[in-house]
């Protein structure tokens, strides 16, 4: 079983890259800082720092176990005019024996899902479980849809649209997964996304007509209108 890590250098203007992560006993370790990335791996993820570990902006981590080996965690959720979202999801949690201090900077949002956290982490705990029991293809497509839309978080809104570089969306939010690429193409075909120069522009008003917004990207159920859209997409999807 493999996981994936999508990362960008210097945020929206940098170079994006993706690499596979195989299962190993040592897990995956990040040193001192994690920013502008989506990490989705079925292994241990370690956040390591001698004095502190810095997370953000734009971080989304889903893993089997999250281990923090740092006395303090500093979370950057972005400036007031450009807020970010930090999401940490894990089945298990461990640390060096002392719960790290937590410091939050910015006007964005920190969300934690997993084992019951202690103060001051507890106030950021959220449940992200998708409880759909049927239409597994639709559930998978919805996860890709959420990942693509999360790629636009923190972008400024102009006349009902927000934009993010093609490199960031294709390299980080979409990656190489065939279904994610097909869904991105469908979003373009339906006008939810359009290419404008070197950027993808998301029509937030049209997305709202599908019941899709940044407030429900990790809801317990798929919005009804979004389910209709995804069922139509899956009916025409041909796996490669």
Convert the pLDDT of each residue in 185-208 to its tens digit.
999 999 999 998 888 998 888 888
- Of residues 105, 184, 150, the one with CA closest to residue 6: 150
Place of tokens 């195989």: 22
Q: What confidence score (pLDDT) does residue 164 get?
A: 82
Over residues 73-99, mean pLDDT: 80
Count CB-CB contacts under 10 A for residue 77: 21
| Buried b / exposed e along 132-163 (16+ C-beta atoms within 10 A) | eeeeebbbbbbbbbbbbbbbbbbbeeeeebbb
* Confidence at residue 20, expressed as pLDDT on a 0 to 100 scale: 62
Give the rounded distance of the alpha carbon of 193 from its chain centre: 18
Residue 81 is predicted with a pLDDT of 60
> How would you classify the pairing of strands 199-203 and 161-165?
antiparallel
As a whole-number percent, the residues of the chain with pLDDT over 90 amount to 20
Average pLDDT on 10-26 reads 56
The closest of 174, 194, 150, 165 to 14, measured between CA atoms, is: 165
Q: Please state the rounded mean pLDDT for residues 104-124.
A: 80
Highest mean pLDDT among 85-89, 101-105, 115-119: 101-105
The pTM of the whole model exceeds 0.85: no
Q: Take residue 101 and report the two structure tokens written for it.
A: 């201090």
216 is written with which tokens?
Answer: 């429900």
Reported as a pLDDT band with limits 50, 70 and 90, residue 13 is very low
Selected residue with higher pLDDT from 238 and 221: 238
């Amino acid at each position: 079983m493999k996981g994936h890590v999508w990362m960008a250098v210097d945020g929206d203007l940098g170079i994006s890259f993706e690499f596979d992560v195989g299962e190993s006993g040592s897990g995956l370790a990040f040193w001192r800082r994690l920013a502008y990335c989506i990490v989705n791996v079925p292994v241990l993820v370690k956040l390591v720092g001698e004095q502190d570990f810095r997370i953000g902006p734009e971080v989304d981590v889903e893993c089997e176990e999250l281990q923090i080996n740092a006395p303090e965690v500093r979370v950057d959720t972005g400036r007031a005019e450009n807020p970010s979202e930090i999401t940490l999801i894990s089945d298990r949690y461990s640390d060096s024996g002392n719960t790290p201090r937590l410091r939050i900077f910015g006007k964005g949002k920190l969300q934690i899902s997993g084992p019951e956290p202690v103060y001051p982490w507890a106030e950021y705990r959220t449940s992200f479980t998708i409880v759909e029991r049927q239409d597994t293809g639709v559930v998978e497509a919805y996860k890709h849809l959420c990942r693509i839309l999360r790629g636009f978080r923190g972008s400024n809104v102009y006349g009902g649209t927000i934009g993010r570089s093609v490199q960031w969306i294709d390299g980080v939010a979409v990656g190489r997964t065939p279904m994610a690429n097909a869904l991105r193409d469908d979003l373009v075909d339906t006008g939810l996304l359009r290419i404008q120069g070197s950027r993808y522009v998301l029509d937030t008003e049209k997305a709202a007509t599908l019941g899709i917004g940044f407030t429900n990207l990790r809801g317990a159920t798929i919005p009804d209108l979004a389910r209709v859209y995804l069922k139509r997409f899956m009916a025409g999807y041909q796996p490669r």
